[in-house]
Amino acid sequence: MFISVVKFTLILSLFLFSLCTIANDKVIDVSDFGAIKDTGSDSTHSLYKALQEAKKIGATKITFPKGRYDFYEERAADRLMYISNNDPGIKRITFPLSSFNNLEIDGNNSTFIFHGGLVPFILDESSHIVLRNFSIDFSRAFHSEALIAGAGKGYLDLKFTDQFPYKINEAGILKFQSQLFQASGIKNKDRLKRKQISQDEYKYEYKRVLEFNFALREPEYMAQDIFTGNALRAEKLNGGDVVRIFHPNLKAKVGNILVFQAKHRDYPGVVISDSNNVELHNITIHHAGGMGVIAQRSHNITIKDSKVSPSKGRIVSTTADATHFVNCTGKIKLIDNLFESQKDDATNIHGIYAAIDKIIDDKTVEIKLQHPQQFGFDFIAPEDELELVHGPSLITYGSALVAKSTRVSNEVTRIEFVKPFDSRLQKGDSVAEVRDYAHVIIKGNTIRKNRARGMLLNSRGKTLVENNYFHTSGSAILFEGDANFWFEQGGVRNITIKNNIFENSFYSQWGQGVIAVDAGIDEQFKETSRYNKNIVIKGNTFKVFDKAPILNLFSVSNLVFENNIIEKTTEYPERKKYDSLFLINNSDNITISINNILQGFSESKSQLLSPTTYKRAKN
């Protein structure tokens, strides 16, 4: 009996050991496939082998021993990608996570450095993916920065560091490069190198400049974008240490930083497309040549304990939004993150409108995507329900079920409906998908020091914005949506904004107030359209340095502003052109409670809490 027990115990132990071995086999270490840290060598091929093995054996985790890993574009796989609100085209992808399921990538706080025109991560048709514990940066940023050493009428004198290589070409035009040319003495080799560097100039083209405050590391007070194109006239001064650029609109303070905005959005950091249940934890995105994270047509996305923040020696992080979500469903969670110094918004959550381009018969239309950065975006399938929208007013007047959808080109799709559509539908109106609008939870984030706005919130699902800190040059929160330029579907239906701190936001040119509406509604329809509805703003602290609008609204119904603290500060010069904290036009059921607390103002409470205008819809 004793021997039988011993045998049973031994067999059970061996069985459990084999299970552990099998489980351990599900974890892949990239160093086993040749990835070498801290050497500057290219880890791309080793990573691809690890990804192939992970898919083959159904691995649940890929790990990187802590260190620096470098990835170069020469060995990266390429693929044609249509990424909403970024530029379409052939993308070279370092982490091509296509059709992966139940996979975690853990960097163990490693640094991932990308060299050249790369998209670091693309998740496509994947599910239950976790990215954890690493940072993303590029050896050469896609924008450029310079110290302002001198200023005069129509010119600025600039000093560039080695991080931002440039040349002044034969025509006297400033061009930025991937690297400075260094001759090897071998004629053909040097010719090829010059040609490669010249071709790479496309990646670093600029379209406008913006002044940043050197000390505060943020856009300069009341600074504006100066549109220059990619051909600024330039010359070298003082033996080449200083570059003088010329443009009639140039003006800035000596000692500040001039940022050259990247012309293209070709290289976002993390792309999530047609995927579900994706989580990013403790990820730092120092830079990307586009958006930090862009998710499209995906379900349940969480970004937690992560950062978009510039690396040492730069004042700008990503060249566009920190995060962006298009036609997403389920839950979008942004929890305890830092979004700073990006060249656009911290987030934008919206759908897509497509315009009616041609009516073929009473059940068939052709729709056309309007903005070039939406071309190729597929969002309509059989059995989908589409809302029918009057373009100039953004009023939804009907819906229709799709029987068949056929793409004609990257811009045009032919739609056949199940039944004849509403007779009011006409060319120039728009359609958008009626879907499980995302439930948005934004809690515990810090948004600061960026160009433009904080958050563009346009999901029709329940939205909660709680315990965040905002210090933005433009509007901290913007309700947008339009069918005349970006063609972004918006119109909130249930949003609560509570217990946040808004500190000296809207100190520059982007927006019309700390919390504002900028929906694309033609003036003649603002009295009848009610695009944004059911907004509660309570328990927040607004620190303001003048009487610029805290709320600037139009075409809104059902808004409550209560139990907030409004505190006067002196951190920026007061702008005399503003004289009302509340501008409310063409809106209904707006409550600005007397229980809001005001501190530091000379005017009376009733005077400050009274909206400047208030118009009701015509009967």
Q: Give the pLDDT confidence of 351-397 residue by residue, as tens digits.
A: 999 999 999 999 999 999 999 999 999 999 999 999 999 999 999 99
Give the C-alpha separation, 88 to 85, whole Å: 9
> Is pLDDT at 13 greater than 80 in this prediction?
no
Tell me whether residue 52 is exposed, middle or buried, using C-beta atoms within 10 angstroms of its C-beta: 0 to 12, 13 to 18, 19 or more. exposed
Residues 220 and 284 occupy one common structural domain: no
> Is pLDDT at 616 greater than 60 in this prediction?
no
What pLDDT sits at residue 239? Answer: 79
Query: Could you read off the pLDDT of 194-247 as tens digits, one per residue?
Result: 777 788 899 999 999 999 999 999 999 999 999 999 999 999 997 789 999 999
Number of residues assigned to the chain? 619
Q: Kindly provide the residue ranges of all beta strands, DSSP E only, lying in 49-100, ordered along the sequence.
A: 61-63, 68-72, 77-81, 89-98
Distances from the Cα of 108 to the Cαs of 66, 112, 269, in angstroms?
A: 5, 11, 19
Percent of the chain past pLDDT 90, that is, above it, reads: 90
Q: Which two tokens stand for residue 120?
A: 């670091």
Quote the pTM value.
Answer: 0.94
**CB of 172 within 8 A of CB of 198?**
no
Residues 179 and 241 occupy one common structural domain: yes
CATH of the domain at 136: 2.160.20
Domain annotation covers residue 347 = no
Query: Could you read off the pLDDT of 268-310 as tens digits, one per residue?
Result: 999 999 999 999 999 999 999 999 999 999 999 999 999 999 9
Percent of the chain past pLDDT 70, that is, above it, reads: 94
- Using DSSP's 3-state secondary structure scheme, residue 47 falls into helix
Residues 179 and 250 occupy one common structural domain: yes
Determine the structural domain holding residue 134 and report its residue range. 2-140+268-336
Tell me whether residue 156 is exposed, middle or buried, using C-beta atoms within 10 angstroms of its C-beta: 0 to 12, 13 to 18, 19 or more. buried
Average pLDDT of the segment spanning 555-560: 98
Give the C-alpha separation, 584 to 612, whole Å: 7
> Is pLDDT at 8 greater than 60 in this prediction?
no
Q: Which two tokens stand for residue 502?
A: 């808004």
Residues 446 and 591 occupy one common structural domain: yes
For residue 542, give the amino acid letter: F
Q: Please name which of 29, 273, 238 lies closest in space to residue 129, comparing C-alpha atoms.
A: 273
Tell me whether residue 79 is exposed, middle or buried, using C-beta atoms within 10 angstroms of its C-beta: 0 to 12, 13 to 18, 19 or more. middle
**CB of 126 within 8 A of CB of 99?**
yes
What pLDDT sits at residue 181? Answer: 62
Domain annotation covers residue 370 = yes
Q: Which two tokens stand for residue 174?
A: 């400033």
Query: Could you read off the pLDDT of 511-527 as tens digits, one per residue?
Result: 999 999 999 999 999 99
What pLDDT sits at residue 295? Answer: 98
What are residue 98's DSSP bridge partners? 124
Query: Could you read off the pLDDT of 344-354 as tens digits, one per residue?
Result: 999 999 999 99
What pLDDT sits at residue 183? Answer: 65
> What's the Rg (C-alpha) of the chain?
27
Residues 450 and 558 occupy one common structural domain: yes
Give the C-alpha separation, 54 to 205, whole Å: 38
Number of domains in the chain: 4
Residues 542 and 595 occupy one common structural domain: yes
Domain annotation covers residue 405 = yes
Average pLDDT of the segment spanning 423-447: 97
Residues 6+ apart with CB under 8 A from 386: 380, 399, 400, 401, 402, 415, 431, 432, 433, 434
Domain annotation covers residue 325 = yes
Q: Which two tokens stand for residue 345?
A: 């918004």
Which residue in this structure is represented by tokens 């505190």?
Answer: 567
